[in-house]
């Protein structure tokens, strides 16, 4: 056994155990606080609602533990189990050119991996969300969504992968810089068109025209330079009762989207505060920050790919007999996240800081009590836990926990008055 193989198996084992341990802590912490609504929420959340949040969180975290184990086994099956080598052998047997052999390997890996994760998606939707009364989707819609996503991935993915392989074979030693440049352009174009071309394949988006809200938000829009035509309501309720709101894209397709499920629960003042939070993400250029971050990470990824591409030891360490361009791409996509698992808490801390900043923006431009009210409604109606495990939060949470956000907003509101 090669040294790299040993490091890989050990790293995979450690990352799996750490994820299981964190999830176990989370379950125990939430369960231990199940009997008591946290002091800050006694006025606004009933014990029954609090316990629903605890039970929903525990159910989802149990599923996540099974998925962690499953994902580890799937990576082992692809690599040391010979799954990827089997696909490489099949692709060579087709007799097509080297470029298309590589594309076939990547596509086959992607489709099989997608199918292997589908049972978890199904269980989350039709067993857990169903039990807690959130599921609104049907099996027909679920299957339709999966097929549409797969077709979209093929439409964008196949030319992209074929392009990357072409650069490898045709543009000399600096191929990876060219490939990275084209890859980034494609990613940015996809981000830019997805609100107008891709997302409408899944949901209906209607401009927000609530007359009560229009009056309230005019001032906010004028102050921030955001146009009313960029605020949409999405029919999320056709799949799920869970509510949310988000800001996406940049330039002319940028927009704030409210789930109809969230909007139905908020007062006009609270909806205005949520809108201000999302506009805060725009004002702080958070999408641009993420693009910048992604550029750096993907440049490192392409550099790494260029380095391992001709090295026989790289393939043999992960169960592939000989260098193959498609296999190199797949191996890196599977193995790099295992080493990258130590960076997840850094990324989570970064996104949490972005959320605090957007909350601060909302407090400056609207009302602190409304923002608190909106968050309480969000946690109550989505059965989000109010008592997560601190270490689990530090590792996984992209948003600060509810109590931390509300404490932060209250402290800012007090400063303003």
Work out the burial of residue 400: count CB atoms within 10 Å of its CB; fewer than 13 is exposed, 13-18 middle, 19 or more buried.
buried
Is 257 a residue that touches Zn ion (CB under 5 A)? Answer: no
Is 375 a residue that touches Zn ion (CB under 5 A)? Answer: no
Q: To 10 degrees, the CA torsion angle through 249, 254, 260, 266?
A: 110
Is 262 a residue that touches Zn ion (CB under 5 A)? Answer: no
Q: How far is the CB of 244 from Zn ion (least distance, A)?
A: 10
Q: How far is the CB of 293 from Zn ion (least distance, A)?
A: 16
Q: How far is the CB of 224 from Zn ion (least distance, A)?
A: 15
- Per CB under 5 A, the segment of 188-196, 301-309, 321-329, 353-361 that binds Zn ion is 353-361
Residue for token pair 């007090």: 414
Nearer to Zn ion, 55 or 355 (CB): 355
Phi, psi angle pair for 134, to nearest 5°:
-95, -25
- Per CB under 5 A, the segment of 89-97, 256-264, 358-366, 401-409 that binds Zn ion is 358-366
CA distance 332 to 82: 16
Q: What are the b/e assignments for 79-91, b being 16+ CB within 10 Å?
A: bbeebbbebbeeb
Q: How far is the CB of 408 from Zn ion (least distance, A)?
A: 13
Is 358 a residue that touches Zn ion (CB under 5 A)? Answer: yes
- Per CB under 5 A, the segment of 107-115, 287-295, 314-322, 355-363 that binds Zn ion is 355-363
Nearer to Zn ion, 55 or 278 (CB): 278
**End-to-end alpha-carbon separation of the chain, Å?**
67
Residue for token pair 């009933």: 46
Q: How far is the CB of 355 from Zn ion (least distance, A)?
A: 5
Q: How far is the CB of 95 from Zn ion (least distance, A)?
A: 51
- Per CB under 5 A, the segment of 50-58, 80-88, 291-299, 357-365 that binds Zn ion is 357-365
CA distance 372 to 249: 26
Q: How far is the CB of 187 from Zn ion (least distance, A)?
A: 21
- Per CB under 5 A, the segment of 120-128, 254-262, 356-364, 389-397 that binds Zn ion is 356-364
Is 45 a residue that touches Zn ion (CB under 5 A)? Answer: no
Q: Give the long-range contacts of residues 107-116, CB within 8 A, separation 24 or more.
A: 107/154, 107/157, 107/158, 107/161, 109/78, 109/84, 109/330, 110/153, 110/157, 111/150, 112/83, 113/74, 114/150, 114/153, 116/70, 116/74
Nearer to Zn ion, 53 or 400 (CB): 400
* DSSP 8-class letter at 398: S
Cα angle value 134/138/141 (rounded, 5°): 120
Let me know: does 357 contact 280? Beta carbons within 8 Å.
yes
- Per CB under 5 A, the segment of 23-31, 115-123, 354-362, 404-412 that binds Zn ion is 354-362
Positions touching Zn ion (CB under 5 A) are 355, 358
């Amino acid at each position: 056994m090669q040294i790299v193989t040993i490091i890989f198996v050990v790293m995979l084992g450690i990352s799996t155990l750490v994820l299981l341990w964190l999830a176990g802590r989370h379950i125990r912490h939430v369960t231990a606080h199940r009997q008591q609504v946290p002091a800050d929420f006694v006025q606004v959340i009933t014990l029954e609602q609090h316990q629903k949040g605890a039970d929903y969180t525990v159910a989802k975290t149990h599923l996540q533990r099974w998925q962690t184990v499953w994902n580890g086994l799937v990576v082992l099956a692809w690599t040391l189990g010979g799954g990827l080598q089997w696909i490489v052998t099949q692709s060579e047997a087709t007799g097509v050119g080297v470029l298309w052999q590589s594309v076939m390997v990547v596509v086959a890996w992607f489709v099989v991996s997608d199918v292997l994760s589908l049972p978890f998606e199904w269980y989350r939707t039709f067993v857990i969300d169903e039990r807690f009364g959130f599921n609104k989707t049907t099996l027909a819609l679920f299957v339709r969504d999966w097929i549409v996503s797969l077709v979209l991935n093929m439409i964008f993915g196949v030319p992209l992968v074929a392009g990357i392989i072409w650069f490898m074979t045709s543009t000399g030693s600096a191929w990876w810089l060219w490939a990275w440049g084209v890859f980034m352009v494609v990613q940015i174009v996809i981000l830019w068109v997805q609100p107008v071309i891709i997302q409408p394949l899944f949901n209906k988006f209607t401009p927000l025209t609530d007359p009560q809200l229009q009056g309230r938000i005019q001032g906010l829009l004028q102050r921030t330079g955001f146009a009313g035509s960029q605020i949409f309501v999405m029919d999320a309720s056709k799949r799920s009762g869970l509510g949310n709101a988000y800001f996406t894209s940049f330039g002319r397709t940028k927009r704030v989207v409210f789930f109809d499920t969230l909007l139905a629960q908020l007062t006009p003042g609270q909806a205005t505060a949520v809108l201000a939070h999302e506009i805060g993400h725009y004002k702080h250029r958070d999408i641009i920050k993420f693009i910048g971050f992604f550029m750096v990470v993907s440049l490192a990824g392409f550099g790494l790919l260029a380095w391992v591409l001709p090295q026989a030891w790289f393939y043999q360490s992960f169960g592939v007999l000989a260098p193959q361009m498609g296999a190199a791409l797949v191996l890196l996509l599977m193995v790099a996240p295992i080493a990258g698992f130590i960076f997840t808490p850094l990324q989570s801390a970064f996104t949490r800081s972005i959320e605090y900043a957007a909350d601060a923006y909302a407090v400056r431009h609207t009302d602190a009590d409304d923002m608190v009210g909106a968050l309480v409604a969000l946690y109550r109606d989505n059965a989000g836990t109010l008592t997560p495990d601190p270490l689990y939060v530090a590792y996984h949470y992209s948003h600060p926990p509810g109590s931390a956000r509300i404490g932060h907003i209250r402290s800012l509101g007090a400063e303003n008055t």
